[in-house]
Amino acid sequence: MITNYQITIEYLGHNFVGWQKQKNGTSVQEVIEKALYKTLKFKVKIIGSGRTDSGVNAFQQSANFYIKKKITDNYSILQSLNFYLKKYNISILNIKKRSQKFHARFSAKKRVYEYVILNRLAKPVIDKNRSWHVKKKLDLKKMKKAIKYFFGTHDFTTFRSSSCSAKSPIRTIDFVNIKREKEKIIINFKSQSFLQKQVRSMVGCLKYVGENKWKPEKIKKIILSKKRSECAPPAPPSGLFLKKVFY
């Protein structure tokens, strides 16, 4: 009997080439699959909810896998997996049985990404590789005006990486939010799915607004332009977190 299991995963991405297995370096998927092999004593292929790029982090990445056995002791499995993962910046937070139809990627209804900007003069120490260090004081009021233009359904070609394989550039952003918490500016986007580098590109444009290089209204113009050349440089991956996947 084949059983389907879901795991939720926390990781820092700066030492990985990304989520997906690649020939040019170590991936999060590869490391977890090796830990599963050592724990279960047979090869397991895991399916992630999305392919986070190199350097991108996750509070709650989701993945599933099918095995020809039933796990009877979740605690022991989690303990074993995290033992084999202890030298990496990866932790398995939870494991649970799901229906055969459950698919970490295609069953996902919504995804939330969070971006963290450390807005201060002093370089980051604790938040190194966990934020984008921007020295110049950003105008949060203008950034709040600008972020509203991303809300709703749009053609996001302007914010799409040239290597993006998505069939359509049309996406619907269900929720946007930006706030300041002491020295940090925290930005959240919620959608069913995102284009490759879409969130980082949108944040890069918001930074331009915060620096007074652009007026907030320019965001609407560059969305309508559908030209990648109109986009500001994407924010670095270090500040981006896959926050939660909803099913």
Is 73 one of the annotated active-site residues of the chain? Answer: no
- Fold equal for 3-98 and 110-246: yes
Secondary structure of the chain as H, E, C letters: CCEEEEEEEEECCCCCCECCCECCECCHHHHHHHHHHHHHCCCCCCEECCCCECCCEEEEEEEEEEECCCCCCHHHHHHHHHHHCCCCCEEEEEEEEECCCCCCCCCCCEEEEEEEEEECCCCCCCCCCCCEEECCCCCHHHHHHHHHHHCEEEECHHHCCCCCCCCCCEEEEEEEEEEEECCEEEEEEEECCCCCCHHHHHHHHHHHHHCCCCCCCHHHHHHHHCCHHHCCCCCCHHHEEEEEEEC
> Would you state the pLDDT for residue 133?
98
> Would you state the pLDDT for residue 112?
98
pTM for the structure as a whole: 0.94
Confidence of residue 48 (pLDDT cuts 50, 70, 90): very high
Give residue-wise pLDDT tens across range 136-169: 999 999 999 999 999 999 999 999 998 898 999 9
Decide if pLDDT at 218 tops 90. yes
> Would you state the pLDDT for residue 173?
98
Q: Judge: domain 3-98, CATH 3.30.110.60.
A: no
Decide if pLDDT at 69 tops 90. no
User: Of 53, 127, 139, 174, which residue is the catalytic one?
Assistant: 53
Q: What would the mean pLDDT of 26-35 be, rounded to a whole number? A: 97
Confidence of residue 23 (pLDDT cuts 50, 70, 90): confident
CATH number of 110-246: 3.30.70.660
> Would you state the pLDDT for residue 22?
87
Instruction: Report the percent of the chain where pLDDT is more than 70.
Output: 100
- The structural domains of the chain, with segments of one domain joined by +, span 3-98, 110-246
